[in-house]
Amino acid sequence: MTVTRPPRYPGYEVLAKRKTPSWDAVTRRIIDERLATPSTPRFFTQKEWDVADALCRRIVPQPVEIEPVSLVALLDAKLLSNHGAGFREANMPYMQDAWRKALAAIDDEARAQHDDRGFFDLSEKDQDAFLLAMQQGRISGDHWTGIHAKTFFERRVLVDVPPLYYGHPKAWNEIGFGGPASPRGYVRLDGDRPDPWEAIEAVPGHEDKAERENRRVV
């Protein structure tokens, strides 16, 4: 299923802030690295990559109007770096092991339920039904040795995947976010008024006005 979303911040391009006081050197370096994330597996095997890609696409469906963010590439980079949150659930393997075990279990379970079709090969409807069953704790069995499907969905999928999207500049354009705003900061802290360097949200029927304003936002 594709997603069509009218732009809430037409004409806004957060990368125009790159050389302005809105971003410092650390922000520029981090965003440059994020934009340069390789689109081929480095941590995952190709099979794991395909399953994870299908999963990410269902967790965060993206607008059709723009080139999608490769969430699986960002997830692969996260797992390669192995920088976790500094803690883990007692009944969960470490982050890298949790993803490897769960992706194998997801694919094996999908094949058992769907005439040997892996998760990547299922329709979007069947993929959604499968993930809903995980979320609701209705999947268990021999494929899930050493990891619990519901716990993995809650503690890894929902924790790891959505932030990958909303940490990317393309998503920032979608929500009108300007990045960390360091060292510039914010001035208008009350009255629901944006600073001059913040994006303007479009009012229905007045999208042209918002687009003109947003093309000047830096």
The yes-or-no verdict on residue 107 having pLDDT over 80 is yes
> Residue 181 is part of which domain span?
1-83+160-210
25 found inside a domain: yes
Number of domains in the chain: 1
What is the mean predicted confidence (pLDDT) over 39-64? 96
The percent of residues in the chain predicted with pLDDT above 90, rounded, is 67
The answer to whether residue 40 sits within a structural domain is yes
For 121-168, what is each residue's pLDDT tens digit? Answer: 999 999 999 999 999 999 988 899 889 999 999 999 999 999 999 999
Domain for residue 72, yes or no?
Answer: yes
**Residue 78 within any structural domain of the chain:** yes
Global model pTM greater than 0.85: yes
Q: 166: which strand partners?
A: none
Q: Are 109 and 141 in contact (CB under 8 A)?
A: yes
Residue 63 lies in a domain: yes
183-198: pLDDT as tens digits = 888 888 777 788 888 8
Tell me if 118 is assigned to some domain. Answer: no
pLDDT at 67: 85
Asked if the structure places residue 131 within a domain, the reply is no
CB-based contacts of 89-93 (< 8 A; 24+ apart in sequence): 89/151, 89/155, 91/148, 91/151, 92/147, 92/148, 92/151, 92/152, 92/155, 92/156, 93/146, 93/147
For the residues 34-52, what does the mean pLDDT come to? 97
Q: Average the pLDDT over 77-89 and give the result.
A: 87
- Per-residue confidence (pLDDT) for residue 217, from 0 to 100: 80
Q: Is 155 within the bounds of a domain? A: no
- What share of the chain has pLDDT > 70, as a percent? 98
Q: pLDDT value at position 58? A: 97
Token match 């520029």: residue? 28
